[in-house]
Structure 1
Amino acid sequence: MKNKIFGLILVSALALSACKTATASEVSNASIRKMINNPDVTLVDVRTPEQFAGGSADNAINVPLAEIINNPTALKGKKVVVFCNKGIQADEAVTILKKNGVEVYDGTSWRNVKGIQDSSL
């Protein structure tokens, strides 16, 4: 009996989390695509200047994560999409910027943002 209850709870939890994740990612992907192509949005590459020099998305500016940590309100009043190599630094930047009142979207990686830009041409 305990195994059946445990199994039912586990299946229910997985089903609920799967539905929530799918819905959130669909909304997020649509929002990111729209934001990346919006001329009023600032694209912010949070990698180091050396990494940024190696390639980035079109029209992106470089504001390294360390600068965001030291001055989290510098982008206040702007809509921004942040990104990096794999999304780890971008996630951290999103958290910091949201806490400081910046309208921010997570573009994950610069290749993702660049791919969206290229597919919109």
Structure 2
Amino acid sequence: MVLRNLLQLFFLITVFSCTAVKPVVEDTLISVKELVKDPETALVDVRVPEQFTEGSAANSVNIPLATIENNLDFFRKQKNTVIFCNTGRQANVAMTVLKKNGIKNVHYGKTLKNVKAIQAEK
């Protein structure tokens, strides 16, 4: 039983870490740069809490990918949301989950580095 659970866990980790993820098509009418700079936009870091506490974008909140579906009401209440992570993979998966659940006001910010660079622009 334990071995089977470990094998399942290994399979899931392998699928999520090694699979090339096709990026979710982003709205071309709304610039992610404009959204990141808009104080009404929720910035959501989908990394694990340990990574988030090490540092994230200014004014961002942490909703780990594993808990996205438990937080759908949060996303529905936002005017706009920009999702990001370390490499963009988890953010892309989060975007897919949210879109499948009818959340349309989410935008792909790609990486933490990208969001921080936008925030640093004058």
- Which TM-score applies when normalising by structure 2? 0.70
Over aligned residue pairs, what C-alpha RMSD do you find?
2.1
Shift of 1:55: 1.1
Tell me how far apart the structure 2 counterparts of residues 96 and 61 of structure 1 sit (CA, whole Å).
18
Pairing 1:13-92 to 2, within 5 Å after superposition:
27=28, 31-78=31-78, 79-92=80-93
Amino acid at match of 2:98: L
Do the aligned partners of 1:72 and 1:96 also contact (CA within 8 Å) in 2? no
- Count of equivalent residues: 96
Measure, in 1, the Cα distance between the counterparts of 2:50 and 2:77. 27
Aligned residues of 1:73 and 1:100 also touching (Cα < 8 A): no
The structure that has the greater radius of gyration is 1
The alignment-based identity, stated in percent, is 45
Once residues 71 and 112 of structure 2 are traced to their aligned partners in structure 1, the CA distance between those partners, rounded to angstroms, is 22
For 2:76, what is the secondary structure of its paired residue?
Answer: coil
Describe the superposition over 1:65-94 as per-residue Cα deviations: whole angstroms up to 9, x where unpaired. 011034434321311100000000000111
Alignment partners' CA distance in 1, 2:59 and 2:33: 15
Report what 1:106 is aligned to. 108
Counterparts of 1:5-16 in structure 2, within 5 Å, are none
Please give the per-residue CA displacement for 1:23-80, whole angstroms capped at 9, x wherever unaligned. Answer: x78x37x611011011111000000000001111110000000110344343213111
The answer to whether the 8 Å contact 1:80/1:104 transfers is yes
Question: Which structure exhibits the higher relative contact order, with contacts defined as CA atoms closer than 8 Å and separated by 6 or more residues?
Answer: 2
Q: Which amino acid aligns with 1:55?
A: G
Q: Report if aligned partners of 1:45, 1:83 keep a CA contact under 8 Å in 2.
A: yes
Unpaired runs of at least 5, structure 1: 1-23
How far, CA to CA, are the matches of 1:71 and 1:37 in structure 2?
A: 23
- What letter corresponds to residue 80 of structure 1 in structure 2? T
Structure (1 or 2) with the greater helix fraction? 1
